[in-house]
Amino acid sequence: MPGRAAYHHGDLAAEAVDEALRMIAADPSASFSLRALAERLGVAHRALYNHFATREALLASIAARGFESLAETLRAAPDAPAFLAAYVRFALANPGLYDVMTQRDHAQINAHLGLRAGVDRVIAVALGVLASPGADDDTRRREVMRVWMVAHGGIGLQRAGMLRLRSDDQFVEEILHIAGLATKGEKA
Amino acid sequence: MPGRAAYHHGDLAAEAVDEALRMIAADPSASFSLRALAERLGVAHRALYNHFATREALLASIAARGFESLAETLRAAPDAPAFLAAYVRFALANPGLYDVMTQRDHAQINAHLGLRAGVDRVIAVALGVLASPGADDDTRRREVMRVWMVAHGGIGLQRAGMLRLRSDDQFVEEILHIAGLATKGEKA
DNA sequence: CCTCAATGTATCCAGTGGATACATAGCCAC
DNA sequence: GTGGCTATGTATCCACTGGATACATTGAGG
C-alpha cells in the first residue's frame, strides 16, 4: 500500500513503478521481470510482493500511470486530427508501456482503482475533443469508439508489420486519411 | 523441416502444430509451453527443437495456420458487413490463436514463408469483398485498412474490457454500426 | 552388412513468478 | 524506557520455463 512513508527503503512501491517505467522504456522488447527490477532497486525480489500482491498487480499500477500520462498528453490536442495523431504517437513512442496498458486482463481494469480511473480520464478527454457537442450520448460514445478503434487497431497492425508503411510519420498521415480526419479538409 | 516422412514418430512437426492449436483453443489464457506440448505428444520436450529452431518459430507456424483458416472463413462472406462480422467472430471465438497470429514480431512475418502467405491471402480476400471495384489501388487499400483497423482495434478494446459491451453479439452489432456498415440481417 | 545423417532422449543450465519462514525496524501502549 | 505488534525486507526453496550439449536410436542407401 503506497502512502506509507519510508521504513527501510523509502516508498518502495512508488520507486518500483518509476523504475519499471524506465526499464520498459529502455527496452520494450525485453520481457519485464520482477527480479531484474528488484536488482535495479537494490532489494530482494521478494520485497516487491509486500507492495504488490502479484506481478500482474504491479503491471496494473504501471498501466495506470501510463493512462494518466496519456490523458495528460491528449488534453493538449485541440481537435480530432490532433487527438488521433497524439494518441498514435504516444503509442509508437512508448511501445512497451502501451502494451502493458492495453494488454491487461478484462477483470483487472475494473479491479484496480487507479487503472479504471486512468482509462476513464482518457475517455473523458476523448469525449471532449472527438464527440459532437449536441448529439445524444450513444452517438457521442460511438464517435469516440470509432476513432479509438481505428487508432488502436492501426497501431497494432503497424507494429505487427501488417501494413507496408515505412516510417511512423507516414503511418500517422495515413491513419488520419483512413479515419477521415485528413489534415487539410477535415470533418467532424 | 516438414515434408519428411515418419522416422520415429511420424510427422512430428505437423502433429505439434495440430496439438498446439488444440491446446491454445482449450485454454487461451494459459501461456503456451513447449513442455506441456511435448508431454501431450508423448515426446521429450527437446524433440520439438529438431523441427522448430525456437519456440517463436513454432508459434509462427501456428500463426500461419491461423491465417489460412481465417482466410477460408472470410471467403464465405458475401459483403462488407458479413466480412467484418466474420472477422470479429473468428477472433472472439479463437482468442488465443488470434493473439498468436497478431502478436508475431514484425520481422517474423516476412521471414516465415507460410506466415507471409497466410497474411497475404487474408488481404486478398479482403480486397475482393471490401474494396470498390473501380477505384484506384490507393483507395482500395485504404478501404480495406479502414475496416481492418476498426476490426482489430475493436477486438483489442473489447477483450481488454475498455468497452462496456456485455455480450459478443452486442459487440458485433455495435462495431458494424461504428464502422458505418448497416446492421440489417447479418449473422455468421 | 555398415555407415551416416536425421530424429529423439537424458540431463543440465540460468532464469522466472511465487511461497514459506525468518529477521529487522519503527510505532504505540503501558 | 520497554515490550510487543505490525509493516517491511531477506533468505531460501519450489515448480516451471526456454534453451543447450551430449548421446542413443533408427532407418535408408551404399
| CA separation for the pair B96, B111 (Å, rounded) | 22
Assign A108 a pLDDT band (cuts: 50, 70, 90). Answer: confident
Whether the pLDDT of residue B188 is over 60: the answer is: no
Closest-lying nucleotide for A1 based on CA to C1': D7
Is the pLDDT at B111 greater than 90, yes or no? no
- Please tell me which of the candidates B103, B149, B163 has its beta carbon nearest to residue A145: B163
- Calculate mean pLDDT across residues B83-100: 97
Decide if A138 touches B, using CB distance below 8 A: no
Residue A79's SS3 state is coil
Whether the CB of B104 is below 8 Å from some CB of chain A: the reply is yes
CB atoms A156 and B156 under 8 Å: yes
Q: Which nucleotide is nearest, taking the CA of residue B34 and each C1'?
A: D18
Q: Could you give phi then psi for residue A24, rounded to 5 degrees?
A: -65, -40
Residue with cell 479515419: A179
> pLDDT at residue A51 above 80?
yes
Residue A81: partners with Cβ closer than 8 Å, 6 or more residues away: A176, A181, A182, A183, A186
Q: How far apart are CA A125 and CA A131, in angstroms?
A: 10
pLDDT tier for residue B1 given thresholds of 50, 70 and 90: very low
Q: Where in chain B is the domain with CATH 1.10.357.10?
A: 59-178
**pLDDT surpasses 60 at B7:** no
The grid coordinates listed for A88 are 498514435
How many C-beta neighbours within 10 Å does residue B6 have? Answer: 8
Burial (CB < 10 A; 0-12, 13-18, 19+), residue B26, is: exposed
| pLDDT (tens digit per residue) in B121-133 | 999 999 999 999 9
**Residue A7: which pLDDT band, with cuts at 50, 70 and 90?**
very low
For B167, residues 6+ apart whose C-beta sits below 8 A from its C-beta are: none
Lowest mean pLDDT among A7-11, A126-130, A137-141: A7-11
Q: Which residues, 6 or more positions from A59, have their beta carbon under 8 angstroms from its beta carbon? A: A32, A100, A104
Render B46-84 in DSSP notation, one character per residue: GGGGGT-SSHHHHHHHHHHHHHHHHHHHHHT--SHHHHH
Residue A6's pLDDT band (cuts 50, 70, 90): very low
Least confident of A101-110, A130-139, A174-183: A101-110
Average pLDDT over chain B reads 90
C-alpha dihedral over B125, B127, B132, B137, to 10 degrees? -160
Using pLDDT thresholds of 50, 70 and 90, give the confidence band for residue B187.
very low
Segment B181-186 mean pLDDT: 59
Which chain B residues are Cβ-neighbours of A145 within 8 angstroms? 154, 157, 163, 174, 178
Which positions on chain C have an atom < 7 Å from some protein CB? 6-11, 15-21, 25-27
Q: Which of B152, B159, B176, B181 would you mutate first to test chain A, the one with the most A CBs within 10 A?
A: B152
Q: Which of the four pLDDT bands, split at 50, 70 and 90, describes residue B183?
A: low
Query: In 10 A of CB A161, how many CB atoms?
Result: 17
> Average pLDDT of chain A?
90
pLDDT at A186 over 70: no
What is the third-level CATH fold of B59-178? Tetracycline Repressor; domain 2 (1.10.357)
Structural element, H or E, at residue B152:
helix B137-160
What is the pLDDT at residue A9?
Answer: 64
pLDDT at B98: 97
Give residue-wise pLDDT tens across range A62-91. 999 999 999 999 999 999 999 999 999 999
A12 touches strand D (CB under 7 A): yes
Query: Span B34-46, mean pLDDT?
Result: 93
Of the pLDDT bands very low, low, confident and very high (cuts 50, 70, 90), residue B109 is confident
Chain A residues 95 to 124 with C-beta below 7 Å from nucleic strand C? none
Interface with chain B: mutation pick from A98, A123, A145, highest number of B CBs within 10 Å: A145
- pLDDT bracket for residue B8 (50, 70, 90): low
Through-space distance between the first and last CA atoms of chain B, rounded to whole angstroms: 37
Distance CA B18, CA B58 (A): 11
Among residues B44, B76, B62, A41, the alpha carbon closest in space to that of B34 is found at: B44
Q: For an interface test with B, which of A142, A164, A178 has the most B Cβ atoms less than 10 Å from its Cβ? A: A178
The H-assigned helical ranges of chain A are: 12-26, 34-41, 55-75, 80-93, 95-102, 106-111, 113-130, 137-160, 168-178
Residue A100 has pLDDT above 70, yes or no: yes
Q: How far apart are CA A181 and CA A35, in angstroms?
A: 45
- Displacement of CA A54 from its chain's centroid (Å): 20
What band does B9 get if pLDDT is binned at 50, 70 and 90? low
**A103–B178 C-beta distance less than 8 A:** no
Residues of chain B with CATH 1.10.10: 1-52
Mean pLDDT of B166-185: 86
- Residue intervals of chain A classified under CATH 1.10.357.10 are 56-178
Residue A49 has pLDDT above 90, yes or no: yes
Angle between helices A168-178 and A137-160 in degrees, nearest 10: 150
In the predicted model, is pLDDT for residue A185 greater than 90?
no
Percent of the residues in chain B that have a pLDDT greater than 70, as a whole number: 91
Reported as type and span, the H/E element at residue B175 is helix B168-178
Query: What CATH number has the domain spanning A56-178?
Result: 1.10.357.10
Beta-carbon separation of B177 and A142 below 8 A: yes
Q: Which pLDDT band, with edges at 50, 70 and 90, does B33 fall under?
A: very high
Evaluate whether the domain defined by A1-52 bears CATH number 1.10.150: no
A175 chain-B contacts, CB cut-off 8 A = 149
Whether the Cβ atoms of residue B85 and residue B185 lie closer than 8 Å to each other: no
A49 touches strand C (CB under 7 A): yes
pLDDT in the model for residue B5: 37
User: Looking at chain B, how many residues does it have?
Assistant: 188
